[in-house]
Amino acid sequence: MFLIGLEGFADPAVLAPWPHEIIRILAAGRIIAALREHGCQDLVLVGPVRRPSLLDLRPDAEGARILARIGRAAFAGDDGLLAAVIRVFAEEGFRVLGVHEILDEALGPVGLLSRTAPDAVAMADIRRGVAVARALGAVDVGQGCVVQQGIVLAVEAAEGTDAMLARCASLARPGRGGVLVKLVKPGQDRRTDLPTIGPETLRGAAEAGLRGVAFEAGGAILAERDTAIAAADENELFLFGLGPDDLSERGENS
Amino acid sequence: MFLIGLEGFADPAVLAPWPHEIIRILAAGRIIAALREHGCQDLVLVGPVRRPSLLDLRPDAEGARILARIGRAAFAGDDGLLAAVIRVFAEEGFRVLGVHEILDEALGPVGLLSRTAPDAVAMADIRRGVAVARALGAVDVGQGCVVQQGIVLAVEAAEGTDAMLARCASLARPGRGGVLVKLVKPGQDRRTDLPTIGPETLRGAAEAGLRGVAFEAGGAILAERDTAIAAADENELFLFGLGPDDLSERGENS
C-alpha cells in the first residue's frame, strides 16, 4: 500500500504514519513514476480535490502530455474531468477501483440508521430535495441541497457541504427544520468523488437547525459509521438511506 | 396610487413619501380592504418577499380563507405560491400587472451595455451558466449562478444574489474571473419576482472578482440603469443582455 497525497489538498499529518509521497497535482510524471516504483497496480481515489485554476497548474512534462490528452474535458464539469483522469490511468496500465470495492461497508445502506425517523413534512422535503439534486446532477453541479418546509434554502456548488450547511442557520424559517439531501449525480462513475456523510456532516446539520440527513443508499460513503450515527442520535437527527423506491420519480410533488 | 408595504419586508423609510399602509403578509382581509378603500384595480408586485414559515403566518379571517384556497401551492416552489396569489387577486377582481407593463425600460435589453465585452472564456462560462440556471429553474429554484473557467462556483437559492456573490471571492480560482448569470425560470409568470440587476449587483460582482454579469434580456429588471452601467464601467465589468440566440441550446457545451 502506498499513498500519494496531492500537495495543498492532503493533510501531511494524516499521511505521516503510512508510506507516502506528497506530489503536485499535475506532476503526473512524478505520480506515475512513484506508483510504478512502489509496484502499485490498483488505485483508489479518495477525498475532495478543489479543481485548480488552469493558470496555476505547472504541469511537469508528463503532466503536459496528459493535459493534452484530457483536453476539453478539463473545461467541462467535474465528472468530465474525473472520467478523463480515470481513462488516462487506465491507458497507463493502472486499474482504478471505487473505495467501496476495497472497504466493506463504506457505502451507507438503505433505511433508517438513527433513532429519530423523518415525519411526513420531512419526507416531503426529502422528495423535493431529491428532485432538485437530480436536476443539479444532470448539469454536473454539486450533489446536495437543503430543503425546509418545501423551500430550497441552499444548493451546493464549489463551497462544499459543510459551508452550505453553515449558511443555512440564517436562512431557516421558524417551525420545523429542514433536511439535507445528498445524491450521486446521474450517470456518475462511482469510482470518483462520491458524496461523503460523516460525523461532521451530522454536527453541521444540527447547528444549521436541520432535522435530518438523507443520502442515496449505496451511493454515498458513510464515514465513521458508528460515530456518525451517534452524532445523529445525540442531536435527535434522522439519518436515512434512500433506496430505489424513495428515489423514484413517482413520489415527486405528491 | 397606493402602496401596501408588507410588514417585515418593506422599508418604512422608502414608503414614507407616498400614500401607503404597512400590513402583515397574511392579513389578506386588511390588504384587500385597503386596496378597495383606495380604489385600486390594477396591482403590481414589487420586491423580494422571503417566504414566511407556515407556523408564523397569523392569517386574519380572510387570510385563513385565502390560505385554504391556495392550499398545496403554498408548499410548492415559489412559482407555485406566486401563481396562486395572483389567481386569488384575480378572483377578487384585481388585475395583476408586470412592472414592465407600467414602467418603460424596466427590463434590460439585448446586447452589450458596458464598455467591456465578454471574451471567449467568459462567453463559454455564460453558456455553462445558462445551462445550469435553466436546470435550476426547471425545479423552481433560484435564478442565478456563478461560473468561472467552466466551474460552477455557486448556485443561488434562498440566500439571494448578493449573498451568493459574497461567498464567491473565497471560492474563486486564480486566473480569469467568473461571470454571474441571471435568467428567468422557464414558464415563469413575468408579473412576479423577476430577477433584478442593479448597481449593487455590479459592485458585488466586482468584489467577488467576477468579470461581468449576463442576464436574460426582456426577463430581468435593470434597476437604476445608468448607475448600474456606470458601476459596470468603473469596475471594468461587462453587462450583457442575453438574447434568444444566446439562450438557445445550440451553443451549449460547444
Assign A140 a pLDDT band (cuts: 50, 70, 90).
confident
Cα(A208)–Cα(A17) distance, integer angstroms: 35
Mean predicted confidence (pLDDT) in A104-109: 84
Question: Given this model, what pLDDT does residue A252 score?
Answer: 44
Using the Cβ of B173 and the Cβ atoms of chain A, whether some distance falls under 8 Å is answered with yes
Question: Given this model, what pLDDT does residue B129 score?
Answer: 96
Predicted TM-score (pTM) of this structure: 0.79
What are the residue ranges of helices labelled H in chain A? Answer: 12-15, 28-37, 61-70, 78-91, 99-102, 120-138, 160-171, 199-207, 225-234, 244-247
Instruction: For residue A75, list chain B residues with Cβ-Cβ distance below 8 A.
Output: 124, 149-150
B114 vs B141, which has greater pLDDT? B114
pLDDT at B54 over 70: no
Using the Cβ of B135 and the Cβ atoms of chain A, whether some distance falls under 8 Å is answered with yes
**Minimal CA separation from B90 to chain A, in Å:** 25
Using the Cβ of B193 and the Cβ atoms of chain A, whether some distance falls under 8 Å is answered with no
- Which residue shows C-alpha cell 445528498? A182
Question: Given this model, what pLDDT does residue B254 score?
Answer: 36
Which of the residue ranges A183-197, A237-251, B202-216 would you say has the lowest mean pLDDT?
A183-197
Q: How many alpha carbons fall within 13 Å on the CB side of residue B180?
A: 36
Question: Given this model, what pLDDT does residue A251 score?
Answer: 44
CB atoms within 10 A of CB A238: 23
Mean predicted confidence (pLDDT) in B242-250: 81
Using the Cβ of A253 and the Cβ atoms of chain B, whether some distance falls under 8 Å is answered with yes
**Minimal CA separation from B47 to chain A, in Å:** 18
Instruction: For residue B176, list chain A residues with Cβ-Cβ distance below 8 A.
Output: 55
Cα(B173)–Cα(B171) distance, integer angstroms: 7
pLDDT at B217 over 70: yes
Select from A55, A136, A253 the Cβ nearest to the Cβ of B174. A55
Cα(A21)–Cα(A55) distance, integer angstroms: 24
**Minimal CA separation from B229 to chain A, in Å:** 29
Instruction: For residue B253, list chain A residues with Cβ-Cβ distance below 8 A.
Output: 76
Instruction: For residue A55, list chain B residues with Cβ-Cβ distance below 8 A.
Output: 174-176
